[in-house]
Structure 1
């Protein structure tokens, strides 16, 4: 009996691994990004680091965000050494603080003449259930509310640099979300899993509404599922044993960070998607997200409620 179970388990693991290898999309574009300015949030490790590396290899000026100067410096040094592109830097950004988001955006607006690609990559799982100084549930703020505010604050620079691109890294886990306007900030009920799923759903809905608002501005916005990979997303799981098991099992069965960065790179560099907007991608091609994520009325309502929660209202994009 034990040997049968082991055989079935082994076969299942191998089958999943083979399936992942055969279906994993790869960015085929060799388009250069010389003269382009890009921002990758959470670019010090995992898929964010690989995304930043891919952009640097194509000649872009790459700015990665980090909460730690030490980790930022280490990531910048690694990217420079592996790509030969010295136009790479890091800036401090704490998504658990809307003041940090505002300060970061202010600095970027003052120091950068253009912004061609904004990649909202940073996210976290297992942050627990507490409220930040901004009155927002920490997981929802890091994964959704802060990226929302960051994007809105950088829109004038993105618009003046058009054609430009906004890329929101969502997840297939958005299919398990619960759309409840009475619980946007996890006030009524909470779980780590639901927080993560809801935040990823909201990113797609934000993409849908923002695409509508940015029509004819030359700024596009798309969302994506990067694939399941063993990345820094598990670092906040408090139980060491559970965290290590998750990292090892996912790392073996599914994609590595470089593989998981391919769809993000595809949306960032491929000429064929330059005018595509409001879409959801997986494995470097358009995919079908959940039905609720594509509802324009719900997306508009979510946008308006989010503006209230982050204390920022986006003006008419034609006047930015």
Structure 2
């Protein structure tokens, strides 16, 4: 599934997901929306969890216009708010008894020096802590599936990240939007790695992937790329479409050959040392538990 300036294999599996429940965070735009659409074509019950409900409603209408038989629903989820994360889990639990596939797709990038509702640096708090809490709350429902999968969208930019565990909010002049984003994507990798170890003897597999450089709204805060209308040539020649960008996610979610594999997405070589450091992964896990005030029953993993 490797991508280089648009060169990429497509997920050609015709596997059906009748009776399966799929949850996609950030499914209102970009590769999340495309992923959700593709999974409705495979007849799954799909929930997209979005912060912006108007955009979410528009996404549902768009998907239904392309696939009138789509079984798709919208839930409210703001990953920058731990209260919102817990509320979304409660609402989903009232609707479904199990979840078969969780796709942690949502994310922010290139933000100014903002903080979340809970006071965490925005990239780390949204891309990592929000998904960390959401995922752990989903584990009981995933365990009720015949075979659960957790797919987390990271980025190759994780290789530029440093965890700064002693300065988690990147204060005192350390903050830079590029490196803050890279750190959050490194956190995604480390979380997937530690999660895979803790779920080793369960029915759940977890995967972490780089989707490619995609033309999405992720870059709306990135001044170096300018406004969308000013970067058309750059986008056409160096970015790939959300459809092609969704292919690696679909591969991790659907391919039966991955049923016996877990952890960081296969086909990745030369990971930076910090991304494969089990000690850092465990320390990040324990710190994250404290930061989100993880409920005691969920700490048994």
TM-score, normalised to structure 1's length?
0.87
Task: Name stretches of at least 5 consecutive residues in structure 1 with no aligned partner.
Answer: 1-17
Alpha-carbon spacing, 1:193–1:99, altered in 2? closer, same or farther (3 Å):
same
Is contact 1:170-1:204 (8 Å) kept?
Answer: yes
Tell me how far apart the structure 1 counterparts of residues 121 and 5 of structure 2 sit (CA, whole Å).
Answer: 34
Say which of 73, 82, 93 aligns to 1:89: 73
Deviates further, 287-296 or 143-152: 287-296
Work out whether 1:177 is the aligned partner of 2:156: no
CA contact (8 A) 2:121 2:168 kept: no
Distance 1:316 1:211, change over 3 A: same
After TM superposition, give the deviation of residue 250 of structure 1 in Å.
3.0
Residues 204 and 280, structure 1, Cα contact 8 Å, conserved in 2? no
Look up the SS of the partner of 2:11 in the other structure: coil
Answer 1 or 2: which has greater helix percent: 1
SS at match of 1:38: strand
Q: 1:127 aligns with which of 108, 111, 117?
A: 111
What is the Cα deviation at residue 269 of structure 1?
0.8
Aligned equivalent of 2:100 = 116
Distance 1:271 1:81 in 2: 30
- 1:280-299 to 2 correspondences below 5 Å: 280-281=265-266, 285-299=267-281
CA contact (8 A) 1:44 1:75 kept: yes
2:254 maps to 269
Which deviates the most, 174-183 or 126-135?
126-135
219, 222, 226: which one pairs with 2:211? Answer: 226
**How many angstroms does 1:288 deviate by?**
4.4
Q: Distance in 1 between matches of 2:224 and 2:36?
A: 30
1:308 corresponds in structure 2 to 290
Aligned residues: 296
Rate the CA distance shift 1:57–1:86 in 2: closer, same or farther, 3 A.
closer
Q: Which residue of 2 aligns with 1:37?
A: 21
Q: Distance in 2 between matches of 1:151 and 1:19?
A: 30
CA drift at 1:118 = 0.5
Larger Rg, first or second structure (1 or 2): 1
C-alpha deviation, 1:237, in angstroms: 3.9
Write out aligned runs for 1:69-218 (5 A): 69-188=53-172, 189-218=174-203
Coordinate RMSD, CA, aligned: 2.0
Separation of aligned partners in 2, 1:251 and 1:146: 32
Bigger mean CA offset, 233-242 vs 83-92 = 233-242
- Aligned partners of 1:246 and 1:142: how far apart in 2? 27
Counterpart Cα distance in 2 of 1:56 and 1:103: 25
The equivalent of 1:14 in structure 2 is none
1:51 corresponding residue in structure 2? 35
Write the deviation string for residues 93-144 of structure 1: whole angstroms up to 9, x where unpaired: 1111110000001111121121000001001113221222312112211111
Please state whether the residue corresponding to 1:106 is helix, strand or coil: helix
Change (3 A) 1:88 1:287: farther
**Contact 1:228/1:250 (CA < 8 Å) preserved in 2?**
no
Q: Which residue of 2 aligns with 1:250?
A: 235
User: CA 1:154 to 1:19, structure 2 compared with 1: closer, same or farther past 3 Å?
Assistant: closer
Q: Give the Å deviation of 1:247.
A: 6.3
Give unmatched runs, 5+ long, in structure 2.
none
Contact 1:234 1:247 in 2 (8 A): no
Q: Take 2:165 and 2:232, find their aligned partners in 1: how far apart are those partners?
A: 33
